[in-house]
A and B are shown apart, each in its own frame.
Chain A
Amino acid sequence: MTVEEINVVRPLGLGETSGRRGDEARSVVGGRTGLFTTADLSVYYGSFRAVRNVDLSITEHEITAFIGPSGCGKTTVLRCFNRMNDLIDSARVEGIVAYHGVNLYDPDVNPVEVRRRIGMVFQKPNPFPKSIYDNVAYGPRLSGIKKRNDLDDIVERALRGAALWDEVKDRLKASGLGLSGGQQQRLCIARAVAVEPEVILMDEPCSALDPIATARIEDLMQEMKQRYTIIIVTHNMQQAARVSDRTAFFTTEINEESDRRTGVLVEFDRTETMFSSPTDERTEQYVTGRFG
């Protein structure tokens, strides 16, 4: 499915209540060059709808932040962008996630190829229980790079890209698990950039880190956005304000079918606008710390 076709498909999925969002989505798809465009995206876990009717567009070489209270579905949406939800058996995705105009949820899309192009950094640093070198070289090896020299270059470049090279260059053979939490997370970033993805998804990458390690990763993100498009989920509003170009605010609302709450996208705009003059009252309450 191409972006153009989304215009055709979209009205079919339009409910009365989502009319406003629908118009926005259409103009986005037709106009701005969104690297990702979602249309009427809903995710279910079993019969429970975790997040509903998300329409947003991600711009290239920008940092987009997803903020919102717990359970608002921001991580769930993030994991749609590289088909990571496939790993959860009960998860089911409805709607469209278009990447370069291809709906990632089309049946003929290969999720493995998707994940090579769209890397991910997880909430808890999760290096493989292998050496630092093997952690970074794993992805390139999978895509068939075997020559020692090539791998050495890639590993160095990736570790430099993650601002970790100087700290580990003398112990590349040591276990990745022997590093500090912040170093482990930067190792995971190096592992993600080693396969030269176009996009890097970050799921609360600093939530397990101390302020100094967090600052290093935030600086790193600013450098990285020259080469990559970054989407970051964060619990920390200040972090979103500091690092991101655009911010999407999600919240939860009462679900008609069950007493569990469903996540919705409230507002999506440039970060300055979101934090200074948001349109929606709920956004304002959240960013000023009055709830969430």
Chain B
Amino acid sequence: MALTLNAQRSSAEAVRASLTGGKRDVRGMLFMAALLACLLLAMLTLIVLLWDVVAQAIPVFDKRGTSFLTGELGSNPDKVGVSQGIWGSLMIALFVVVIAFPVGIAAGVYLQEYAKPTKLTRFIQLNIRNLAGVPSVVYGILGLIVFVQGLEWVTGGRSVIAAGITLALLVLPIIIITTAESVRAVPAGIREAGMGVGATRWETTRDHVLPYAAPGVLTGTMLATARALGEAAPLLLIGAITGRLASAPGQSIVERMQGKFTAMPIVIYGWSNEVNKPGKKTGLTFEDLNAAAIVVLLAVVLLLNALAIVMRNRFEKGRQG
């Protein structure tokens, strides 16, 4: 009896001792520190890059003002501007929205929601993943052969139409995959609930699955658009203009879309090859202009992303009821 009591008492003391004054979890803290360091490294790189670019771009906006945004491609750093680049990039974004969004979302929903999980389906899914990893230059070759040369009567050859369709195809796999993933993440209970009250598969998909998956789908389309806006390699193959691009006044929209074009990444690429001689009036070099062009491109991408985030938040509110 006494023995058990003793044992109890000592074990209670042991418990108390072990509860307090324990050793610190050194390994855990080291691990956490390592994770934090990696995060900081990534953030730091980004911040330094951004700061460098923005600092160089500020004098450009200061001295050139809006003429930098409205100017055209040329060789005089006092006069050139990015208007054609912005126009080309927005046109490409438009093609991505009009072609890649509907086709990609539809294909993703079909793969996940309708296709029977056969070997063929899995094979197709695997290949769409592979397509997302195909180097963009390869898409450039495809665009050159099919849309610039093969379909010249539609696209007008080396035009923003050919570029837009090519980049829409380039981002299509990304949209299909992210759509399929977000649809897969919709809880089975939602589908059962819909079907359980007598909704058809289409009604269930339209009323419940798609709204639930919408935030994820939007994230995918956002990434896809940003990717399309940043691509330069396929545009070079398709034949975007780098040196001088004089706009012909009085062109219709269709004529302009079938004509010579450029886009923001190409403007940046082109200016990085220019002679770095300061302009006589402003003293700005093409390197400065390039920094400003990068800021403009980033602004366009961020603007489109902000739009998508606003839309996503609205959908997410809808998800909660």
Q: Interface residues, chain A, CB within 8 Å of chain B?
A: 82, 84, 87, 89, 112-113, 115-116, 119-120, 122, 124, 126-131, 138-139, 142-143, 174-178, 188, 191-192, 194-195
Contact of A142 among B190, B197, B211 (CB under 8 A): B197
Query: Once the chains bind, are B196 and A122 in contact (CB under 8 Å)?
Result: yes
Contact A142 B198 (CB under 8 A): yes
Q: Does B208 contact A (CB under 8 A)?
A: yes
The 3 closest A-B pairs by CB, nearest first: A175-B321, A116-B198, A126-B189
B187 to A126, Cβ gap below 8 A?
Answer: yes
Asked if B197 and A192 sit within 8 Å, CB to CB, the answer is: yes
**B318 contacts the other chain (Cβ, under 8 Å)?**
yes
Query: Quick one: closest A residue to B187, CB to CB?
Result: A126
Please name all residues of chain A whose beta carbon is closer than 8 Å to the beta carbon of B193 when the two chains form the complex.
122, 126-128, 188, 191
Can you list 21 A-B pairs with a CB-CB distance of less than 8 A? A87-B195, A112-B195, A112-B199, A115-B198, A120-B192, A122-B192, A122-B196, A126-B189, A126-B190, A126-B192, A127-B193, A128-B193, A129-B321, A130-B321, A138-B194, A138-B197, A139-B197, A139-B199, A142-B198, A143-B198, A191-B193
Give the chain A neighbours of B200 by CB distance below 8 A: 112
- Which chain A residue has the least Cβ–Cβ distance from B198? A116
B78 CB → nearest A CB, Å:
57
Bound form: Cα–Cα A87–B212 in Å? 18
Residues of B within 8 A of A194 (CB): 197
Report the bound CA distance from A139 to B192 in whole Å: 13
Q: Do residues A195 and B192 form an inter-chain contact, with CB atoms below 8 A?
A: no
Known: A87-B192, A128-B208. A195 touches B321 (CB 8 A): no
On chain B, the residues within 8 Å of A139 by CB distance are 197-199
Interface string of B65-105 (1 = CB under 8 A from A): 00000000000000000000000000000000000000000
Question: What separation, in Å, do the CA atoms of A113 and B211 have in the docked complex?
Answer: 24
Q: Is B203 an interface residue (CB 8 A)?
A: yes
Q: Which of B191, B194, B319, B321 makes the CB contact (< 8 A) with A174? A: B321
Q: Which residues of A contact B197 (CB under 8 A)?
A: 115-116, 119, 138-139, 142, 191-192, 194-195
Which B residues lie within 8 Å of A142 (CB)?
Answer: 197-199, 203
Is the pair A113, B198 in contact by a Cβ cutoff of 8 Å?
yes
- Of all chain A residues, the one with the shortest Cβ separation from B191 is A87
Main secondary structure, interface of B, reads helix
Looking across the interface, which residue of chain B has its beta carbon closest to that of A120? B196
Binding site for A on B (CB under 8 A): 116-117, 187-200, 203, 207-208, 211-212, 318-321
Q: Note all chain A residues with C-beta closer than 8 A to B191.
A: 87
Q: B97 to chain A: closest CB distance in Å?
A: 27
Contact partners of A174 in chain B: CB under 8 A? 321
Minimum Cβ distance to chain B for residue A276 (Å)? 35
Chain A residue with minimal CB distance to B212? A129
Query: With A87-B191, A130-B321 in contact, do A138 and B207 touch (Cβ < 8 Å)?
Result: yes
Max count, chain B CB within 10 A of own CB: residue among A84, A120, A126, A177 = A126
- Whether A177 pairs with B198 at a CB distance below 8 angstroms is no
CB distance from A23 to the nearest CB of B (A): 35
In-complex Cβ contact of B198 among A122, A124, A175, A195 (8 A) = A195
Partner of A128, one of B116, B117, B188, B190: B190
| Chain B residues, Cβ within 8 Å of A130 | 321
CB distance from A197 to the nearest CB of B (A): 9
Q: How far is the CB of A46 from chain B (nearest CB, A)?
A: 11
- The distance from the CB of B144 to the nearest CB of chain A, in whole angstroms, is 42
Q: Which residue of A lies closest to B116 (CB)?
A: A89
Chain A residue contacts of B212, Cβ below 8 A: 129
Distance in Å: Cβ of B169 to nearest Cβ of chain A: 30
| Whole-angstrom CA separation of A113 from B208 in the bound complex | 19
Bound state CA distance, A128 and B319, in angstroms? 9
Distance between Cα atoms of A84 and B319 in the complex (Å): 25
Complex contact A115–B207 (CB within 8 A) = no
Question: Is the beta-carbon distance between A178 and B321 smaller than 8 angstroms?
Answer: yes
CA of A195 to CA of B193, assembled, Å: 13
User: How many angstroms between the C-alpha atoms of A116 and B199 in the bound complex?
Assistant: 8
Residue from A82, A115, A127 whose CB has the most chain B CB atoms within 10 Å: A115
